[in-house]
């Protein structure tokens, strides 16, 4: 049976959160991958890449895997009733409910993370506490049929993990080799623990406005539900 993957596509999505797992999923034999949004009008990722949804909330077919990527655009999704209702509907039927980066915050806003282990980007993982989740830093974190990934580039690791769950380790390793996924970054600055202090401070400052806006939204949401 062919596998059907659905990835939420939305304005200001972090494109690598989406395109990393998309490439892995689409490399599986017979797989179908849809980009899903409210309509099929082209939208723009946070860094300017144009994306065109291939399915809508109204006509989305049954999915095996539903994935929510992250990015600056998730701030709007946290309070979007139409999006959250769609996410809850998918959670009732898919084999695996998943996210990459800050996409896990949308799962939290939809009320799907209570008591469950989940991860996110290092600059947002602590915010999962506000949704009753158990923040668990890591590249890929699994809790039952919930699979969440850390920041941005972890989406490739996540994609291979999902393929291994569905099709076995050999299938995942074949895709990994086909993509020549053997990362050797030129700098050991990919996590707060390894980055130089000055780089970490500068990065936190760069991300501060989006973080502050996100904190305000989550505080408002949790107060309303208290």
- Which residues lie across from 109 on neighbouring strands? none
- φ, ψ dihedrals at 207, nearest 5°: -90, -5
Convert 113-126 to b/e letters by CB count within 10 Å (16 or more is b): beebbbbbbbbbbe
CB–CB of 69/104 below 8 Å? no
**SS percent in the chain: helix, strand, coil, step 5:** 40, 15, 40
CB–CB of 23/16 below 8 Å? no
CB–CB of 99/133 below 8 Å? no
Q: Would you please indicate which residues are annotated as catalytic (active-site) residues?
A: 101
> What DSSP letter does each residue of 155-169 carry, written as one string?
HHHHHHHHHHHHH-H
d(CA 97, CA 115): 15
């Amino acid at each position: 049976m062919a596998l059907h993957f659905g990835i939420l596509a939305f304005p200001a999505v972090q494109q690598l959160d989406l395109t990393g797992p998309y490439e892995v999923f689409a490399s599986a034999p017979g797989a179908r991958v849809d980009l899903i949004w409210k309509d099929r009008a082209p939208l723009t990722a946070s860094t300017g890449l144009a994306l065109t949804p291939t399915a809508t909330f109204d006509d989305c077919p049954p999915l095996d895997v539903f994935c929510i990527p992250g990015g600056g655009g998730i701030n709007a999704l946290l309070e979007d009733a139409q999006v959250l209702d769609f996410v809850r509907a998918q959670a009732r039927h898919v084999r695996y409910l998943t996210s990459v980066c800050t996409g896990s915050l949308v799962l939290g806003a939809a009320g799907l993370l209570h008591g469950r282990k989940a991860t996110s980007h290092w600059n947002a993982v602590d915010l999962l506490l506000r949704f009753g989740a158990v923040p668990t830093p890591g590249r890929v974190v699994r809790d039952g049929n919930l699979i969440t990934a850390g920041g941005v580039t972890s989406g490739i690791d996540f994609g291979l993990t999902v393929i291994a769950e569905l099709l076995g380790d050999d299938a995942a390793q074949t895709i990994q080799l086909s993509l020549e996924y053997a990362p050797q970054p030129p700098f050991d600055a990919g996590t707060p623990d390894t980055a130089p202090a000055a780089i970490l401070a500068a990065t936190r400052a760069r991300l501060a406005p989006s973080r502050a806006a996100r904190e305000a939204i989550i505080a408002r949401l949790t107060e309303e539900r208290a």
